[in-house]
Structures are given as C-alpha cells and as structure tokens.
Amino acid sequence: MTASSLSRPEAKEYPTFYAGYVASVRDGDIREIVREARDELAKTLNGIEESRGSYRYAEGKWSIKTLIGHMIDAERIFSYRALRLARGDKTPLPGFEENSYAETAGSDARTVADLASEMLDVRTSTIRLFDSIPDDAWDRSAMVSVGEVTARALAYITVGHARHHLNVLRERYGVEN
C-alpha cells in the first residue's frame, strides 16, 4: 500500500463542500476506518426504539427513519462514485437531489430495524468495495458534482457523511449510543 492511500486526502483532492466530512474522519488506512465506523453505525442505529422512528425535532425536518434512508442512499452514491473513479472512469458524475430522494424513498413506511439492517448491509458492501480497490487506484480522480475528487477522498467523505448524520441523530434527535 502506498503512503498516500493510508493518509488523509489533501484539500486539493475534494471540493471544499466536503471538508467537514473529511475532517471528521481520523487519519489512517481508510479500509480499517470504514470497518471501525460500521461498529459505530450498528451501535447507534440498533439502539433506536421503533416508537421514535417518526420523530422529527422540528417542523419540516426529516424523521429519524427518513434520515436513516438518506444515509443509505448517500452511502450507495458515494461508494458508487468511488468505484467509478477507482476503475479509471473519468466520466463526470452528476450530483443528486437529496430532498427528492428522501421524499420518494418511502422510509417512513418501513421499520427502524429494517432501515438499520439495510444501512449495515450497505456499509458491509462499502467495506468489501474499499478492500477491493488496488493501492494505485486511490489517487484516481474525476469531476463529481461540484468539483474534482479522488477515490480516496470519496472514501473519507463516505465515512464522514455517515458520522455527520450519527451526530445529528444524537444532538438533535436525542438518540443515544
């Protein structure tokens, strides 16, 4: 493994829009980090009582179930982008409209347990993908939505995005670990 695949992506490897996500992830081998982060996801999501699933901390905000559904969608999209870049695909990739996805996903009709299980399955798939990326592929880049990004940065963004929403669940929704 090259030193660069073990290190935090440099700021030039991703648009500033994603800086907070990248900053929330510790330095190290992203393959180990994403495995550790799965444990944090499991602990938090599996601790949410079903009766709290429809809770919204304010009018117009997503329910807990909708937020978990968003996490699932975003993880799939970020990991797909990482796959494309790692495989050398330079085709510019569009953004996605998270609110439209959330509105049409039907997450509120599902159980918290089902959503949590799916999120953990998706994370397991992400782990398998990241484990399969050759060392020399982490530096590959392309235009994604708002700017140029590397596969390594997308891996950090994937983990950081989920961590951001776990913090939102704790701080605004009162979810405990």
6 within some domain:
no
Q: Which domain holds residue 59?
A: 12-171
Q: How far is CA 140 from the centre of its chain?
A: 19
Nearest-angstrom CA–CA distance, 28 and 4? 10
CATH of the domain at 18: 1.20.120.450
Beta bridge partners of 143: 148
Under the banding of pLDDT at 50, 70 and 90, the label for residue 3 is very low
1 within some domain:
no
Hey, how many other C-beta atoms are within 10 angstroms of the C-beta on 48? 21
Query: Looking at the predicted structure, is the pLDDT value of residue 2 above 50?
Result: no
pLDDT in tens, 122-151: 999 999 999 999 999 999 999 998 899 999
Beta bridge partners of 149: 142
5 within some domain:
no
pLDDT in tens, 18-71: 999 999 999 999 999 999 999 999 999 999 999 999 999 999 999 999 999 999
In this prediction, residue 5 carries a pLDDT of 53
77 within some domain:
yes
Q: How many domains does the chain have?
A: 1
Hey, how many other C-beta atoms are within 10 angstroms of the C-beta on 44? 19
